[in-house]
């Protein structure tokens, strides 16, 4: 086919569904006319759009123009500014996350924006609320940042009536009543110090354990985590007061919770499947178990490095700070965080309770620090950074694929980096790789590298 537009027409003739929202123009001025018209009419399109892609129509020119590591040279995207709407700020409430951070959020009069109805929007912290100058009762301007995350921009001052009132940050945790305070002198956030027993923090940690970034336990999502950690209507204690008993849960524990019962009182599918999935999760890789402990700074990369080097949780918890810091990808900050975590008695209780319930805290066949020796595989010894949206890979999946090929996944680009795999949205890591002259691969190149090593790319 000679052109992209001709290809569309042929596909249409074949009966395939083709968008009618495109045109062929012969000048930049006409392209701008189309962009502006579509922007005005964007809500009349049958699906949500956030911009326009302008392409060179002639296919022969595509190869001639080529592409950069970021994008083809024969196409460029124009993104419309996020849609802004007015709505009423009904209240400002505070939620507490798994780390204890107390975060104000806006409760707004439901409003349609960028394809969905918005009722809540984050306000980050009390300083942000003050900086935005919003009062409860204000008419506010709201948008979705990046057409995704609801964001309060500020008040419409001329619509104030005098009945509005300022938000006052609470001094106590809305979930457990503990006094809120900054974790350090330079912390702008207020935090709940009751990490062990605050229902919001326990709920958040249990949800994290079940998440894809944790142990990826089906049926242990937000609703199930809340059901397991919230007191019942009669005030009786929930099945989980901390995450320590998670792997010791039994059917009787779950039948005490409405969420896990059918109308006739029998166990629901949610209950039986959760118990089966918890049993399976007991033998998940050590690296995933480490991430699920919610140790500050210990993400997937550090967890894999620790698991690969030490092979068991016992070896990690008895290691010195110098031994921990010496592991490639760990360092002193993470090492200190690990030691601090194990100094807390109820943290150690979690590990011990999970072990008694059958959780496997060691890698089969691993016999000590660094026992794996030199990595083998097509990418043995290579430091690889995956960034942006790589087609066919989640962020965690990309890191696991690098490890499986013998490589070392890294979260930052440096002179020690051998390759950067970059997809759309790569940002500063891609820029730094280009500045340092580090080879940059797209998703297809990344796959070839993993399969055949450097010679394959």
CATH no. for residue 140?
A: 2.40.50.140
Spatial strand order in the sheet of 408-410:
408-410, 383-387, 419-422, 440-441
Residue 318 domain flag:
yes
What's the rounded Cα separation, in Å, for the pair 132 and 93? 16
Helices (H), 230-267: 251-255
Same domain, yes or no: 90 and 161: yes
Task: Look at residues 279, 309, 326 and tell me which one is the last residue of a structural domain.
Answer: 279
What is the torsional sign of CA 358, 364, 370, 372?
A: negative
Task: Look at residues 166, 191, 208 and tell me which one is the last residue of a structural domain.
Answer: 166
Q: What is the CATH number of the domain that holds 391?
A: 3.40.50.10190
β-partners of residue 55 are: 75
Same domain, yes or no: 272 and 292: no
Same domain, yes or no: 145 and 204: no
Residue 398 domain flag:
yes
Residue 188 domain flag:
no
**What is the number of structural domains in the chain?**
5
Q: What are phi and psi of 430, to 5 degrees?
A: -65, -45
Residue 58 domain flag:
yes
The predicted structure's pLDDT at residue 373: 57
Q: What are phi and psi of 160, to 5 degrees?
A: -70, 145
Task: Look at residues 79, 107, 142 and tell me which one is the last residue of a structural domain.
Answer: 79
Using alpha carbons, list the distances in angstroms from residue 393 to 87, 396, 403, 447.
39, 8, 14, 10
Neighbour count for residue 377 (Cβ, 10 Å): 15
Residue 377 domain flag:
no
Query: Which residue, among 419, 447, 452, 454, has the nearest Cα to 69 in the 3D structure?
Result: 419
Same domain, yes or no: 271 and 306: no
Q: Exposed (0-12), middle (13-18) or buried (19+): which is 111, by Cβ within 10 Å?
A: middle
Same domain, yes or no: 215 and 256: yes
Residue 44 domain flag:
yes
Residue 94 domain flag:
yes
The range of the structural domain enclosing residue 322 comes to 286-357
Same domain, yes or no: 32 and 106: no
In order along the chain (457 residues), what is the average pLDDT of each group of 10 residues? 94 93 95 94 84 95 84 91 94 96 97 91 92 97 86 96 96 96 86 96 97 94 96 85 97 95 95 97 95 93 90 95 92 95 97 98 78 74 92 83 86 92 90 94 94 93
Residue 352 domain flag:
yes
Largest alpha-carbon pair distance within the chain? 72
Q: What is the dihedral of CA 146, 148, 154, 157, to 10 degrees?
A: 110
CB proximity list for 85: less than 8 A, separation 6 or greater: 111, 112, 113, 141, 142, 143
């Amino acid at each position: 086919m000679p052109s992209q537009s001709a290809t569309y027409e042929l596909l249409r003739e074949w009966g395939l569904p083709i968008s009618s929202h495109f045109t062929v123009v012969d000048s930049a001025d006409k392209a701008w006319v189309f962009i502006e018209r579509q922007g005005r009419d964007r809500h009349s399109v049958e699906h949500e759009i956030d911009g326009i892609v302008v392409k060179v129509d002639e296919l022969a020119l595509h190869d001639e123009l080529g592409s950069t590591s970021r994008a083809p040279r024969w196409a460029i995207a124009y993104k419309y500014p996020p849609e802004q709407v007015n709505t009423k700020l009904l209240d400002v409430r505070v939620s507490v996350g798994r780390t204890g951070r107390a975060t104000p959020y806006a409760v707004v009069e439901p409003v349609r924006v960028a394809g969905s109805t918005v009722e809540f929007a984050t306000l980050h912290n009390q300083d942000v609320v003050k900086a935005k100058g919003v009062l409860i009762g204000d008419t506010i301007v709201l948008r979705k940042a990046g057409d995704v995350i609801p964001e309060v921009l500020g008040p419409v001052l001329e619509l104030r009536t005098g009945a509005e009132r300022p938000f006052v940050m609470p001094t106590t945790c809305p979930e457990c009543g503990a006094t809120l305070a900054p974790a350090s002198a330079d912390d702008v956030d207020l935090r709940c110090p009751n990490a062990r027993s605050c229902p919001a923090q326990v709920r958040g940690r249990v949800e994290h354990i079940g998440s894809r970034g944790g142990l990826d336990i089906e049926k242990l999502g937000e609703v199930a985590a809340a059901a397991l950690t919230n007191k019942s209507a009669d005030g009786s204690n929930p099945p989980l007061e901390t995450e320590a008993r998670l792997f010791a849960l039994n059917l009787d524990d779950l039948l005490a919770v409405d969420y896990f019962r059918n109308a006739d009182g029998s166990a629901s599918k949610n209950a039986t499947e959760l118990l089966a999935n918890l049993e399976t999760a007991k033998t998940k890789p050590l690296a995933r178990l480490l991430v699920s402990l919610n140790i500050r700074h210990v993400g997937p990369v550090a967890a894999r490095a620790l698991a690969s080097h030490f092979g068991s949780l016992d070896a990690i918890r008895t290691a010195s700070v110098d031994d921990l810091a010496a592991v490639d990808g760990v360092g002193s900050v993470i090492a200190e965080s690990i030691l601090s975590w194990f100094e807390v008695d109820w943290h150690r209780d979690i590990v011990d309770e999970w072990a008694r319930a059958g959780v496997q805290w060691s890698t089969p066949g691993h016999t000590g620090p660094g026992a794996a020796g030199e990595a083998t595989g097509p990418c043995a010894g290579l430091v690889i950074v995956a960034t942006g949206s790589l087609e066919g890979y989640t962020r965690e999946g990309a890191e696991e694929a690098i490890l499986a090929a013998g490589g070392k996944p890294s979260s930052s680009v440096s002179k020690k980096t051998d390759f950067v795999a970059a997809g759309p949205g790569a940002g500063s890591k891609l820029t730094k790789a280009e500045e340092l002259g580090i080879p940059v691969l797209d998703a297809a190149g990344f796959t070839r590298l993993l399969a055949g090593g450097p010679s394959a790319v």
